[in-house]
Homo-oligomer: A and B are copies of this chain.
Amino acid sequence: MSTLDASWLPLSPGERAVAIEVLVHGPLSRAELARRLNLSAGSLTRLTKPLIESGLLVEKGTEGAASAEVRQGRPSQPLDMVAESRLFIGFKITEDMVYGVVTTLRSDIMARDERPLTTHEPAAVIDLLREMTQEFTRAHPRAAGIGIGVGAGVRDRSVVIRSPFLDWDEVPLAELVEEWTGLPTVVENDVAALVEAECWFGAGRGLDRFAVLTIGAGLGYGLVSGGRRVVSSEDGLSLGRGRHWMVDPHGPLTPYGERGSAVSLLTIPSIRYQLHAATGREMTYEEILGLAADGEPMAARVVDEAARALGTIVSQIANFAMPQKILLAGEGVGLVDVAGAAVEEAILANRHPQADKVNLETKVSDFHDWARGAAVLAIQVLVLGSA
C-alpha cells in the first residue's frame, strides 16, 4: 500500500475523468463508464488499468445486492474507488470555534472535533489547526491533505484576503498551515467550499446547473453552471450577502441588513432580534420556530414573513439563474419545516404557472458539514487536480 503514496497524483485527463465519475457516481462498470464518458470499451481498459494498479480503484465483486437485476451476457465488473485509501482533513473557522472533520475520498466523515477559538491572532489560529491536525493524524495516519473554509474572500485558494470577523488582512493561510503540518493545504471561502461539496457528493450530484442558498447568521449564495462553480467577486462578502436583496420595502429593519432585505427578514439573528423587539424576551431560534409551529401569533407572524421572503428569493434564483435544483442549507433552514407552505406559496406567486416546478431541497447542516465541504475542496484540488 505504501507504493501508491505519490504514484497516482499525476492523472492524465482521461484518467481524471474516469476517477471523478467513479468517485461521484458510485461503483460503475467499464462498459457503463464508456457510455457515460463517450469513450470506447478499449479505452476504458487502458485508462482503468493504471488506476487499479495504483490502488485507487478496485474491481468490486458482483457480490453486492445492488446487482440484483439479472441480465444476459457476461456480468459487468463494477469498479469502485477505495475511498479509504486517502483521508482528508477539513476545517471550518468561525468567529469563536474551529470545527474539524476527517473524511474519506468520498467525503464520508470518519472523525470530528471542535475547539473554542479564544483569539483571532493568525499564529494562534494556525497553532490550533496544527494541534487538531496532530490529533487527527494520530488516529488516522493516512491523511493526505487539508481543506480550510473561512467566511472571507480567498485568493488562489490560498490567501485570506480580508476577514472582518477574524480581523485578518492578506493572511497566507494555506502556506502557513502547510509549513506547520507538512500537509498540502487548500483554503477557500466557506460557502464556495460547501457549494463544491454539494455539487460533487450532495444534492447537486451530476447536475449541470445548481444553486445553493445558505441561511444562518447571514445568507450565502453559490451557483454551479456547466458543472463548475461560478466564481463571483461577491464570494468574499459572505457576511454582507443579501443585505441588499430587497424583498419588501415595508418590511422590518434590523441591525444586520437594510430595511426589508433578505438578511433582515430571514437570518437567525434578525428573526431573534424581531422577536426580542416585539416581546422583550430573548429566545433561541429553535424556541421561536416551536412557538410559531404552536400558533403563537408574534412568532408565527415573523416566521411567516421570513418564509415568504425565502420563497421570493428562491423564485428569483429560479427565474434568473435557472438551476435544475436549489439547495437550502445552513442552520436556519428549520424555517422550512415550520412554514413550508408559506415558502411554497411565495414561490408559486413569483413563478410562471407553466414553468417547471422549482426543485427545492432542504438540508439541515451543522458546522461540521461546513468543515466537510472544505475537505471536499482538498480532495478536488489535491487528488484530482481540478483547478
- A residues bordering B, Cβ < 8 Å? 209, 211, 221, 223, 225-226, 228, 230, 232-234, 237, 240-241, 243-246, 312, 315-317, 319-322, 349-356
Apart from A320-B320, A320-B321, 15 more pairs, CB < 8 Å:
A223-B321, A223-B322, A225-B225, A225-B226, A226-B228, A234-B355, A237-B355, A243-B352, A244-B350, A245-B319, A246-B349, A316-B319, A316-B320, A321-B321, A321-B322
Chain B residue at minimal CB-CB distance from A227: B226
Q: How many copies of this chain does the complex contain? A: 2
Contact in complex: A209, B226 (CB < 8 Å): no
CA A303 to CA B218, docked complex, whole Å: 35
Chain B residues positioned under 8 Å from A315 (CB to CB): 244
| Residue in B225, B226, B322, B350 whose beta carbon sits within 8 Å of that of A232 in the complex | B322
Interface centre among A233, A237, A316 (most CB of B within 10 A): A316
| Residue in B211, B233, B353, B356 whose beta carbon sits within 8 Å of that of A355 in the complex | B233
Contact in complex: A349, B244 (CB < 8 Å): yes
CA A316 to CA B319, docked complex, whole Å: 9
Chain B residues positioned under 8 Å from A320 (CB to CB): 211, 221, 223, 316-317, 320-321
CA A353 to CA B320, docked complex, whole Å: 21
27 A-B residue pairs with Cβ-Cβ distance under 8 Å, sorted by A, are A209-B225, A209-B230, A211-B320, A221-B319, A223-B320, A223-B321, A223-B322, A226-B226, A226-B228, A232-B322, A233-B356, A234-B352, A234-B354, A234-B355, A234-B356, A240-B352, A241-B352, A243-B352, A244-B315, A244-B350, A244-B351, A244-B353, A245-B319, A245-B350, A246-B350, A316-B316, A321-B322
Chain B residue at minimal CB-CB distance from A355: B234
A116 to chain B, nearest CB (A): 30
On whether A237 and B321 interact (CB within 8 A), knowing A225-B225, A226-B225, the answer reads no
Chain B residues positioned under 8 Å from A244 (CB to CB): 315, 349-353
Chain B residues positioned under 8 Å from A230 (CB to CB): 209, 225, 322
CA A321 to CA B225, docked complex, whole Å: 10
CA A158 to CA B235, docked complex, whole Å: 40
Chain B residues positioned under 8 Å from A349 (CB to CB): 244, 246
Chain B residue at minimal CB-CB distance from A322: B232
A154 to chain B, nearest CB (A): 16
Chain B residues positioned under 8 Å from A233 (CB to CB): 355-356
Chain B residues positioned under 8 Å from A322 (CB to CB): 223, 230, 232, 234, 321
